[in-house]
């Protein structure tokens, strides 16, 4: 996860000591090492890897799509889905990055294939062009994974007047899903997986989405802005699931866990946190991609719609994550903000 923290070291040490501000869920993860053998209903848990949860699953003939394919959990998910035989549409900010990711996960011994696309989330025309190129290929989409995201932008940044976490993490995916919903619905059992976070209820504003502050101009903190964007991910999945309830398509939201991505590693070093100690409470990218891959591919998930998953199992989220009225309002506001880029007003 991109973590542009501007926290100075002293602040960080205080915060890390209380385990409550920079990484508010670390305390919740602290018992992670002790509970690894606790059986969970799916048979998988916090230490399962993407390769383990997809072992024996043949994705030959399936088409998947993932945003943010070049790094972290997105890259690992791309790698494992192609390994299991899927043809993956791999989206990245630039075509060069997407091409490099595709080249490194395909080749001899890999059953699947990967096709690169450029999709810059701060440029809605880029999302529109990407989605339309994909639609022109004429394939159904069995699995659509909204994964790309940013975290902890230290200063308020705006995209067309809207706060940047909200744009990249939520509105961009709202447009992409809107423009590709028909090919997902045309698949026999289409699945939409929204990569959210438990930050949705641990860091979001107390009142939920601040509809009167989507510009961030009234108040801005990186942690709350990220939490709000992740709450938007959860509410988007909830409302999407409601709208899909009479179709064969499902939509769910996933918390991958706190994951040791490149940026997380640099952040720990910058702040002189012992990476070995941190590794005990932070997942590897392969463990982080496990819940995404589980929800995207496991047969048992087909009956789950509008659910929140952690550690490869359904979990009960807190905060406003189940607030259907807020989800409905978010949908309407998102439509207003992206109207020029949507192909249909509503599904």
Q: Which residue's CB is nearer to ligand NAP, number 147 or number 305?
A: 147
Segment (H or E) for 132: helix 124-137
Q: How many angstroms separate the CA atoms of 39 and 35, rounded?
A: 9
Q: What angle do CA 142, 112, 181 make, to 5 degrees?
A: 20
Number of residues that bind ligand NAP (CB under 6 A): 29
Considering only 45, 116, 149, 208, the residue that binds ligand NAP (CB under 6 A) is 149
**Count of CB atoms within 10 A of residue 247's CB?**
13
Residue 220 known to be catalytic: yes
DSSP state of 159: E
User: Under 8 Å CB-to-CB from 114, ≥6 apart: which residues?
Assistant: 78, 82, 87, 88, 89, 90, 101, 102, 105, 106
Considering only 150, 204, 225, 330, the residue that binds ligand NAP (CB under 6 A) is 150
Question: Least Å distance between CB 178 and ligand NAP?
Answer: 17
Residue in 220, 226, 294, 341 annotated catalytic: 220
- By the rule CB under 6 A, 79 interacts with ligand NAP: no
The three-state secondary structure class of 24 is: coil
> Could you please report the per-residue DSSP string of 259-312?
B--HHHHHHHHHTT--HHHHHTTSB-HHHHHHHHHHHHH-GGGGG--S-EEETT
Candidates 9-17, 116-124, 201-209, 302-310; binding stretch for ligand NAP (CB under 6 A): 116-124
- By the rule CB under 6 A, 263 interacts with ligand NAP: yes
Mask: binding to ligand NAP, 298-337, rule CB under 6 A, as x and -?
----------------------------------------
**Catalytic annotation, residues:** 220
Judged by the rule CB under 6 A, the positions of this chain that interact with ligand NAP are 1-2, 68, 70-74, 92-93, 97, 119-122, 147-151, 168, 195, 197, 256, 258-259, 261, 263-264
């Amino acid at each position: 996860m991109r973590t542009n923290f501007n926290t100075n070291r002293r602040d960080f040490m205080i915060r890390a000591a209380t385990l409550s501000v920079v990484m508010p869920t670390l305390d919740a993860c602290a018992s992670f090492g002790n509970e690894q053998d606790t059986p969970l209903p799916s048979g998988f848990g916090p230490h399962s890897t993407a390769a383990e949860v997809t072992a024996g699953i043949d994705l030959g003939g399936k088409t998947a799509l993932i945003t943010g394919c070049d790094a972290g959990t997105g890259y690992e998910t791309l790698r494992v889905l192609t390994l299991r035989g899927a043809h993956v549409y791999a989206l990245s900010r630039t075509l060069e990055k997407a091409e490099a990711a595709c080249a490194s996960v395909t080749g001899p011994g890999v059953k699947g294939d990967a096709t690169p696309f450029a999709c810059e989330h701060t440029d809605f025309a880029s999302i529109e062009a990407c989605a339309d190129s994909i639609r022109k290929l004429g394939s159904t989409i069995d699995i659509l994974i909204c994964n790309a995201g940013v975290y902890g932008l230290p200063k308020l940044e705006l995209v067309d007047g809207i706060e940047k976490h909200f744009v990249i993490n939520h509105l961009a995916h709202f447009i992409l899903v809107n423009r590709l919903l028909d090919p997902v619905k045309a698949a026999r059992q289409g699945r939409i997986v929204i990569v959210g976070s438990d930050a949705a209820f641990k860091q979001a504003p107390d009142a939920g989405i601040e509809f009167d502050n989507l510009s961030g101009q009234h108040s801005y903190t990186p942690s709350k802005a990220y939490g709000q964007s992740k709450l938007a991910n959860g509410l988007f999945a909830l409302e999407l699931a409601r709208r899909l309830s009479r179709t064969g398509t499902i939509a769910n939201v996933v918390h991958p866990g706190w994951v040791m991505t490149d940026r997380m590693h640099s952040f720990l070093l910058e702040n002189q946190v012992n990476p070995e100690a941190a590794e005990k409470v932070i997942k590897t990218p392969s463990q982080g991609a496990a819940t995404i891959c589980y929800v995207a591919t496991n047969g048992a998930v087909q009956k789950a719609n509008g659910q929140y998953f952690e550690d490869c199992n359904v979990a009960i989220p807190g905060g406003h994550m189940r607030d259907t009225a807020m989800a409905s309002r978010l949908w309407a506001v998102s439509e207003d903000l992206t109207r020029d880029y949507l192909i249909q007003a509503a599904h």
